[in-house]
Amino acid sequence: EVQLVESGGGLVQAGGSLRLSCAFSGSTFDDYAIGWFRQAPGKEREGVTCIMNNDRSTYYADAVKGRFTVTSDSAKNTVFLQMNSLKPEDTAVYYCGAGSSCFRLRLGARQVDSWGQGTQVTVSS
């Protein structure tokens, strides 16, 4: 059974940076795509980015292109999300989710097979 554990959230001022981590266990890391999703209060969970671990192909939502970078470390079974130039509208609980491909995960949160517990990111203006 796949297990995911996020870490690295916190409070940061607008324009600042944070790095989130998603530690993977319970199956073969390279067989999975890992997506980052976020959910703000009163809003639906939305996809932010995705990386396919076996070929490092990536996808980014328009709202974060040029500011967020997703990377994958197979030696550590961990996916990282580097978030730069943060804006107040980036405030949300961030979740990582595992699935079979970024093609599927791009379709939305319902395509995720396993979720982490989430980590809060708050960006003050």
pLDDT tens for 76-103 read 999 999 999 999 999 999 999 999 999 9
Average of per-residue pLDDT across 2-25: 98
What confidence tier does 59 reach under pLDDT thresholds 50, 70, 90? very high
Question: For position 24, what pLDDT does the model report?
Answer: 98
Question: For position 19, what pLDDT does the model report?
Answer: 98
Question: For position 27, what pLDDT does the model report?
Answer: 97
What residues contact residue 121 under an 8 Å CB cut-off, 6+ apart?
9, 10, 12, 18, 20, 38, 83, 86, 90, 91, 92, 93, 94
Average of per-residue pLDDT across 54-81: 97
Burial 92-124 (b: 16+ CB within 10 A, else e): bbbbbbbbeebebbbeebebbebbbebbebebe
**Closest by CA position to 95, among listed 105, 103, 85:** 105
**Residue 101 to residue 46: CA distance in whole angstroms:** 17
Average of per-residue pLDDT across 105-125: 95
In 1-125, which residue ranges form alpha helices assigned H by DSSP? 102-105
Query: How many percent of the chain have pLDDT more than 70?
Result: 100
Question: For position 62, what pLDDT does the model report?
Answer: 97
